[in-house]
Amino acid sequence: MESIYNLGLLIVLAPLAGAIVAGLFGGTIGRKGAHSVTTLGVAISFVLSAVVFKQVVIDKVGILNQTVYTWLVSEGIRFEVGFLIDQLTAMMMVVVTFVSLMVHIYTIGYMSHDEENWPAGSRAGTNSYQRFFSYISLFTFSMLVLVMANNFMQLFFGWEAVGLVSYLLIGFWSTRESAVYANLKAFLVNRVGDFGFLLGIGAVLMTFNSLDYSAVFSTAELHKNLTFSIFPGSEWNMMTVIGILLFIGAMGKSAQVPLHVWLPDSMEGPTPISALIHAATMVTAGIFMVARMSPLYELSETALSFILIIGAITALFMGLLGLIQNDIKRVVAYSTLSQLGYMTVALGASAYAAGVFHLMTHAFFKALLFLGAGSVIIAMHHDQDMRNMGGLRKYMPITWITSLIGSLALIGTPFFAGFYSKDSIIMAVGESSIPGSGFAFAAVLAGVFITALYSFRMYFMVFHGKERMDHHTREHLHETPWVVTLPLVLLAIPSVVIGAIFVMDMPFGNFFGEAIYVAAEHDVLATVGESIHGWWGMALHGFLTPAFWLAAGGVFTAWMLHRKGLDIAVVMKERFGFVYKILDNKYWADEIYAKLFAAGGRGLGNGLWKVGDVALIDGLMVNGSARVVGVLSGITRRLQTGYLYHYAFAMIVGLLALFSLFIFR
């Protein structure tokens, strides 16, 4: 155990050290120094995480739950920083550090000409390359703090720290108005989620008098009938209150409807971080959190039902938006939203293990798709519009093949990683009896068709068909350097095989042990698992399921349209103008929020300020009473010289008089 603790410390601190060195001494150590030190830090983290994974998951040496230091003690309640390293954490550590390592390597290529993105003479642009590496290492540190936490307080620390780095990275190109708008929006929308999350922590502390996971989870059962009065006269089950409040935090971080609006805009950030933060790791923090809290969520079907419905809405309706996007990154972004919805649905159906399994496979293939998109963007000289692409497979064979693998994994092609995780979720939801599971089942099935349709629309638009780019760009088209393609290849491998390797252990086995708790009456995965006999059989059977045929139908539709030279977005615009309008405006969520909250908040602020502070308090009370005094004292105007020191003097005299009154009374 001691060795795992020490490894844990090293795993966390290595990226932090890299971030500090690259951030504070970037100018001194130069570009090479910065990417070497940060990549080395994350590489150490990855290797050691793999060691921890082996010890905890394979060798089963036990679970580490240890305090690092005490943050503060108040009323005997200890707020601590510590590690809980069990199977769930170990898996997350490997995924986070692996994707992060890939992104570090990739960034060496992607950001190599970053100075071109800054206005001439900008001093912020001089070390931007080093700063970028510092940020992504800092992100890795923060994410590790989040997943390795053994208490709610530290979870919140990591939660907010990844939000901070996300903010810094979305707005990395700080000259771009759209980028600094997007990062503010991302931070504020996340803060709305954190608002619920913090209240949830308050509810946990009130109920359990501790924020320590083990103390809370081990006594959760005792409090399952506790009620809490939010409005006088309406009693809520405490577990429902805790569950929903904490999940509001997850809705922010994992971009669930209606707090999804920040994620598409976050694509303003450089592509490596879209892959790392806004696809593979940070946005899955909410999924991880709910899985971690499974002992609490299992006690409230209301909270589970809430999660299920929110997830289903996100999975279906965000996927639809992906159909009509023309920006390559936005397609992948809406796809991420939709896939996060799938994971959330799994959580709501008590299939936590399937949700986390999908989190893992998704981390690989979605990071792959994003980095593939980034590779295309490099080749296209930072043009992201798919209408200007086409036929790229000739020029970029590695990017082409790896992106195809990523797409096949995403749509759930049997034998690919995404198939195993997505099918587990669909089957689990089918078995679920949580209220709303019927709707959720329909939504995730329909989502399969949509996923296939937008994925292969993108695939055909980018890699096949006519070369629509301008002459200059076409002449310079070529495969990206090895630092870019190597991560693609290394991510493509798990995108194919990782599902088959873990499917019998993770959703349908006892991979997570005590880390995830499912009440017997909710255990849909156990029911589904009875009919699953090995990865081979599951994949073969997969060809017979409706999900497969829906996916195949999606690919076929995309292919047919592509062959006819038609684009879904254009077709929809012409034939279903009304639907297109809805999708094109993204259900008007941005407009509604901008009017209601942003403009409304400013309006309220202005009203309170101008009416409350300026007119009423200052105008009427302060200056008004001053005027009244002024009028009254018109009689005694001779005494008023207008010099402040006279007034001060008069006050002192008055005080002395008061004193003398006491002395000589």
Residues lying near other proteins in the complex (CB under 8 A): 69-75, 77, 118-119, 121-127, 153, 156-157, 160-161, 164, 167-168, 171, 174-175, 177, 180-181, 183-184, 187-188, 191-192, 194-195, 198-199, 201-203, 205-206, 228, 230, 601-602, 604-606, 608-609, 612-613, 617-618, 621-622, 644, 648, 651, 658, 662-663
Q: DSSP string spanning 190-226?
A: HHHHHHHHHHHHHHHHHHHS--BHHHHHHHGGGGTT-
Residue 100 CB, nearest distance to other proteins (Å)? 20
15 half-sphere exposure, CB direction, 13 A CA radius: 29
Residue 69 CB, nearest distance to other proteins (Å)? 7
Residue 231 CB, nearest distance to other proteins (Å)? 9
Residue 206 CB, nearest distance to other proteins (Å)? 5
Residue 191 CB, nearest distance to other proteins (Å)? 5
Q: In this complex, which beta carbon is closest to other proteins, that of residue 69 or of residue 578?
A: 69
Q: How far, in whole angstroms, is CA 463 from its chain's centroid?
A: 29
Q: In this complex, which beta carbon is closest to other proteins, that of residue 157 or of residue 395?
A: 157
Q: In this complex, which beta carbon is closest to other proteins, that of residue 47 or of residue 616?
A: 616
CA-nearest of 180, 32, 15 to 483 is 32
Residue 354 CB, nearest distance to other proteins (Å)? 31
DSSP 68: E
Q: In this complex, which beta carbon is closest to other proteins, that of residue 540 or of residue 648?
A: 648
Q: In this complex, which beta carbon is closest to other proteins, that of residue 221 or of residue 613?
A: 613
Residue 187 CB, nearest distance to other proteins (Å)? 6
Q: How far, in whole angstroms, is CA 481 from its chain's centroid?
A: 29
Residue 633 CB, nearest distance to other proteins (Å)? 14
Q: DSSP string spanning 566-600?
A: --HHHHHHHH-HHHHHHHHTGGGHHHHHIIIIIIH
- Of how many residues is the chain composed? 665
Q: Which helix (H) or strand (E) holds 231?
A: strand 227-231
Residue 71 CB, nearest distance to other proteins (Å)? 6
Q: In this complex, which beta carbon is closest to other proteins, that of residue 520 or of residue 657?
A: 657
Paired with 343 in beta bridges are none
Query: Strand 234-237 vs strand 227-231: parallel, antiparallel, or unpaired?
Result: antiparallel
Determine the Cα–Cα distance for residues 529 and 534; give it in Å rounded to an integer: 10
Token pair belonging to 657: 């008089």
Q: In this complex, which beta carbon is closest to other proteins, that of residue 146 or of residue 550?
A: 146
Q: In this complex, which beta carbon is closest to other proteins, that of residue 230 or of residue 632?
A: 230
Query: Strand 64-74 vs strand 234-237: parallel, antiparallel, or unpaired?
Result: unpaired
**Residue whose tokens read 């077709």:** 571
Q: In this complex, which beta carbon is closest to other proteins, that of residue 177 or of residue 530?
A: 177
Report phi then psi at 561, rounded to 5.
-60, -40
Residue 68 CB, nearest distance to other proteins (Å)? 11
Residue 625 CB, nearest distance to other proteins (Å)? 10
First to last CA, the chain: 79
Determine the Cα–Cα distance for residues 577 and 597; give it in Å rounded to an integer: 29
Token pair belonging to 502: 């873990």
Token pair belonging to 307: 């999660």
**Residue whose tokens read 């990739």:** 106
Token pair belonging to 348: 């709501």
E strand spans, 487-580: none
Q: In this complex, which beta carbon is closest to other proteins, that of residue 207 or of residue 314?
A: 207
Q: In this complex, which beta carbon is closest to other proteins, that of residue 200 or of residue 494?
A: 200
CA-nearest of 551, 552, 91, 87 to 361 is 91
Determine the Cα–Cα distance for residues 409 and 427; give it in Å rounded to an integer: 18
